[in-house]
Amino acid sequence: MHPHISVILDKAQHHTRLSAEDGYRLINCTEAEMPALLAAAGTLRDQHKGRTITYSRKVFLPITNLCRDRCSYCTFRKDPRDPDAWTMTPNEIEEWVTRACTQGCKEALMCLGDKPELAYSGYRATLAGFGHANTTEYIYRACEIALAHGMLPHTNAGVMSYDEMKWLKEVNVSLGLMLENISPRLRERGMAHFSAPDKDPVVRVRMLREAGELSIPFTTGILIGIGETREERVDSLLAIRDIHDEYDHIQEVIVQNFRAKPRTRMAEAPEPESVDMAKTVAVARLLLGGDMNLQAPPNLSPMDHKLLLHAGINDWGGISPVTKDYVNPEAAWPHLDLLAQTCREAGFTLRERLAIYPEYMDRPEFLLPALRPRTQELHQQVTA
């Protein structure tokens, strides 16, 4: 017999570590039990994070949209023959960073496809023309450009090796990789990640662990609505929790909802409903605890901002005044004034943060000395 939901929620409120079975019970709660679930998650957030909701003012730099993976839902990745395939030149990176600085951006998000040099000889030639032997070298250069303009880089370049992350830590205040889901089932034929070798959960978990070994402030999360079960969402969140318990380096966890896109194999797949998204956010808060920074992208749930606040988030992620969301180009960023108003109406204050959270800034193992002065200067600006 399953325990009553109130027993599990009471455990969470008293900071008792919830089990997988607890998580399964919560994420399968009934409609009548939803208000109690959301209230418990919101209360836990308030106890640890208060009523301040943060965001990062960023420029989204899609270094290249070439990718060797073929996820069933993605329109970002391109083949070299596609008319809208691109690799940014150093001059283009410089131009966008300069423009972003004039708009008060402080984070430079480096985003790109997985390991394109392993798949495309033309891309390798492009890199050689820039004077680089591989993508990691080129990302390093892009980060140097951003740093020269006073911005703080955050790189999400797909799966990277230990040595690649160690090197990029020199020029990044944080790195990221979405776990998406821990279940190997999603790599089976007909599933979302069948043609995506870099979405192997074993590979992604290894990178999360190695980032911990390197003391890198790290962003990860889950993607819901891609064919996973609710229980697999819980398993994925618990995998993240276990890694963080060991290394204390995961600075934020994203709960991101799938958006169906034309001309993809999942174009007709149903998107997660608002209640399902809110329920998953609340369960994430209760499983991960009040200290974790929990994020939901505001542009992917434009009608549900107050619901997500009620469900326990404390962060909206990166929002750009100069570039679109190239991964979800159909979903415009919310206007910051309107988002701030929504937060106020729900009893919250919206505040800017950096690409590294404050709790990691003063820990020397997480932020290298060369990056510390500018980080502290910008932190003073956003907290003034």
- 97-112 pLDDT, tens digit each: 999 999 999 999 999 9
Long-range contacts of 186-195 (CB under 8 A, 24+ apart): 186/226, 186/227, 186/228, 191/72, 191/227, 192/71, 192/72, 192/73, 192/226, 192/227, 192/266, 193/71, 193/72, 193/226, 194/72, 195/69, 195/70, 195/71, 195/72
Q: pLDDT (tens digit, 9 = 90+) per residue, 193-213?
A: 999 999 999 999 999 999 999
Domains of the chain in sequence order: 5-383 (3.20.20.70)
Share of the chain above pLDDT 90, in %: 97
Name the average pLDDT for the chain: 97
Which residues of the chain register pLDDT less than 50? none
What distance in Å separates the CA atoms of residue 248 and residue 356, rounded to the nearest whole number?
14
pTM for this predicted structure: 0.97
Q: What pLDDT does 191 receive?
A: 97
